[in-house]
Amino acid sequence: MDIKLSVKNLEAFYGKNKVLKSMTLDIPRNKVIAIIGPSGCGKSTFLRCLNRMHEVVGGTIRGEILLDGDDIMKKDPVDVRRKLGMVFQKPNPFPTMSIFNNVAAGLKFNGYKNKKQLGEIVEKSLKQAALWEEVKDNLNQSGINLSGGQQQRLCIARTLAVNPEVVLMDEPASALDPISTTKIEDLIFELKKDYTIVIVTHNMQQASRVSDYTAFFYLGELIEYGETKKIFTSPLNKQTEDYIRGRFG
C-alpha cells in the first residue's frame, strides 16, 4: 500500500480534556477515506489536526502525523495548510470578492502576480471543481450570488488552486440539496485521481458510495478502520455494526 499520510498515536486536547485518544492509521495515496461516527466523537477535530488548525482554535496535539514520511508537527503550519487544504461544512466564499478573486485569493496571498498565470490557474481549478461552464461568463460577479452547491464547488476550487496534496472535507454536502450533493460526490470521485481525500460524513450511504476506506470513531477513539466494502458488509466490531445499522448515533 502506497501511504500518503501516516498518523501515529495522535492525541488531541482542549485544555485538559482529551478529545482524541491515541489514534493510529495509515491513509493511502489517491484514495478517499471516510470518517464516520456520532456527533462529538472527534471527527472534525481529527481533520483539524491533520492540517494544524486544531492549534488555531486553542487545542494542543501529541503524536506524529507524517506526510510522505515528513512529520508535519515539525513544519510551519502555514506550509502544512498549503499541502492539506480544507473544505468546510458550510460554503464560505469571501463575500466581498468576485468568483475569480475567490479562487485566486490563496494564490495572491502566496505572491502570485502574473495575471495570465492567475487566469490559467483559476480556470483550471474551476474546471477541476466542475464549475467552469456555469460561471465562465460571470467571473467578476460576487461569489455569494451563486447557489449553495455552486458556492461549495467554488470553495473546492479555491482549495485546489494552491495545489494541495491532500483535500480534507468536513461534511461538504450536509447543507446541500440532493442534486448538489450528487455533484459533490461525483466531483470527489474525479478528484481522487489527483489528490488524497479525507471526508467526514454523517451520511452512511454517502460514505459507502464515495470512499475506498472507512474509519469509525467513537468517543475520541478509532474503533475500526478498513476497506469500505468490508466495513459496511462485515465489520469486525459490534459497535461499528450497530452504528452503521442505525442502532445508535
DSSP calls for 58-108: TEEEEEEEEETTEEGGGS-HHHHHHHEEEE-SS----TTSBHHHHHHHHHH
> pLDDT value at position 104?
95
Query: Cell numbers of 218, please?
Result: 467513537
7-59 tens-digit pLDDT: 999 999 999 999 999 999 999 999 999 999 999 999 999 999 999 999 888 89
Report in angstroms the alpha-carbon separations of 41 from 35, 45, 218, 221, 245. 10, 9, 5, 8, 18
DSSP 8-state class, residue 234: S
CA pair distance 175, 128, nearest whole angstrom? 21
Residues 169 and 87 sit within 8 Å (Cβ to Cβ) = yes
Residue 243 burial (10 A CB sphere; 0-12, 13-18, 19+) = buried
Query: Cell numbers of 58, please?
Result: 486553542
Arithmetic mean of pLDDT, 240-248: 89
Query: Cell numbers of 131, please?
Result: 464549475
> pLDDT value at position 192?
94
pLDDT at 249 over 70: no
Place of cell 468576485: 98
- Overall residue count recorded for the chain in this entry: 249
Q: pTM of the entire structure?
A: 0.92
Residues 6+ apart with CB under 8 A from 45: 12, 19, 20, 54, 59
CA pair distance 159, 82, nearest whole angstrom? 9
The C-alpha angle with vertex 149 and arms to 112 and 145, in degrees rounded to 5, equals: 70
pLDDT band at 247 (very low <50, low <70, confident <90, very high): confident
Report in angstroms the alpha-carbon separations of 135 from 116, 119, 139, 249. 18, 14, 6, 39
Mean pLDDT of the chain: 94
Topology of domain 3-93+166-244 in CATH is: Rossmann fold (3.40.50)
CA pair distance 118, 96, nearest whole angstrom? 19
pLDDT at 175 over 90: no
Element spanning 177, H or E:
none
